[in-house]
Amino acid sequence: MLVGRNVALRARIETDVAVLHTGIYDDVLGQSESDNGAWRPVSATVELSPYRVRENRSEEAPFTIVALDDQRIVGEALLWGIDLHNRSAHVGIALLPLERGRGHGLDTVQVLCRYAFRVLGLHRVQMETNEPNVAMRAMANRAGFTEEGVLRHAAWFDGRFVDEVVLGLVVDDWAEAAPAS
Given this model, what pLDDT does residue 55 score? Answer: 78
Given this model, what pLDDT does residue 178 score? Answer: 67
The string of pLDDT tens digits covering residues 53-66 is 877 788 999 999 99
Rounded Cα–Cα distance for residues 19 and 39 (Å): 18
Given this model, what pLDDT does residue 179 score? Answer: 62
**Are 100 and 135 a contacting pair, CB within 8 Å?**
yes
The string of pLDDT tens digits covering residues 11-54 is 998 888 888 878 877 666 665 566 666 666 777 776 777 777 87
**Are 76 and 2 a contacting pair, CB within 8 Å?**
no
Buried b (16+ CB within 10 A) or exposed e, 13-24: eeebbebbbebb
Given this model, what pLDDT does residue 79 score? Answer: 96
The string of pLDDT tens digits covering residues 126-146 is 999 999 999 999 999 999 999
* Cα of 134 vs its chain's centroid, Å: 15
Given this model, what pLDDT does residue 91 score? Answer: 96
Domains, in order of start, for the chain: 2-177 (3.40.630.30)
Given this model, what pLDDT does residue 158 score? Answer: 82
| Beta-strand relationship, 2-3 and 124-130 | unpaired
Kindly list the distances between the CA atom of residue 142 and the CA atoms of 80, 81, 150, 174, in Å, as whole numbers in the listed order.
21, 23, 19, 11
105 pLDDT exceeds 90?
yes
* β-pair partners for 156: 161
pLDDT over 90 for what percent of the chain?
63
